[in-house]
Amino acid sequence: MGNATINITNDSKISQLKALLYLLQSNLEELKDEVDMSYELLKVGEKTELLKKLEEKINNPIEDLLQFSNTIDAQVRQILHKIIQGLFKKNSNIIDKVHKTRSSINDLHYSIVLREDTMENRNVLFDFLNKFDFDNLNQKHNIYFQFIPAHLIDKIKFSEELPLS
């Protein structure tokens, strides 16, 4: 009985591999046809979309790297924002309000209204920043906490108020 299961699994894998090879072969044939057509049209001075894309890559090869780097930075910033939101929720007993003031490509700014503005309460949040600095994550992504008195909170422009629950 155990051998039958193995054969079924192998048959399934072989079928999947055949399907993948067929799809790959079909795509490669389409690409070859497009390359052949582009080559012939280039001889008479015409450019296909494929040639235009290739020409863009030749003219500006670094653009893709920069776009890739910016995408990674945006994802890291989003992950850091989620971690910081967790920090604020975890410490909601000492925080009255938190606003995301702004964010740039590598910076996150938060304005915080503490229930009681004391050094002890501030240090709870500063401990996070110290660990962040210690891990050298701040080399590229900076996090700023700004403590605001409750009576001034309405005078500052915020991008969003963060929920604490």
- For residue 130, the domain's CATH number is 3.30.460
51 part of a folded domain? yes
Q: Which two tokens stand for residue 82?
A: 């989620």
How many domains does the chain fold into? 2
What is the arithmetic mean of pLDDT over 16-44?
A: 87
Higher pLDDT, 134 or 97: 97
Residue 133 has pLDDT above 80, yes or no: no
Instruction: Please indicate, yes or no, whether residues 154 and 100 belong to a single structural domain of this protein.
Output: yes
Instruction: Please indicate, yes or no, whether residues 110 and 143 belong to a single structural domain of this protein.
Output: yes
Q: What is the residue-averaged pLDDT of the chain?
A: 82
Residue type for position 148? I
Which residues have a Cβ under 8 Å from the Cβ of 61 and sit 6 or more positions away?
A: none
Instruction: Please indicate, yes or no, whether residues 15 and 95 belong to a single structural domain of this protein.
Output: no
Per residue in 81-131, pLDDT (tens digit) is: 898 999 999 999 999 999 888 766 668 889 999 999 999 999 999 988 888
- What pTM was estimated for this model as a whole? 0.60
List Cα–Cα distances, 139 to 65, 128, 133, 154, in angstroms.
Answer: 20, 16, 8, 32
Q: What is the DSSP string of the chain?
A: -HHHHHHHHHHHHHHHHHHHHHHHHHHHHHHHHHHHHHHHHHHTT---HHHHHHHHHHH-THHHHHHHHHHHHHHHHHHHHHHHHHHHHHTTTTEEEEEEEEE-SSEEEEEEEESS--HHHHHHHHHHHHHHHHTTGGGT-EEEEEE--GGGGGGS--SEEPP--
pLDDT at 105: 64
Higher pLDDT, 141 or 118: 118
Burial track 7-44 (b if 16+ CB lie within 10 A, e otherwise): eeeeeeeeeeeeeeeeeeeeeeeeeeeeeeebeeeeee
65 part of a folded domain? no
Residue 53 has pLDDT above 70, yes or no: yes
Choosing from 14, 40, 59, the residue where a domain stops is 59
Residue 77 has pLDDT above 70, yes or no: yes
pLDDT at 16: 82
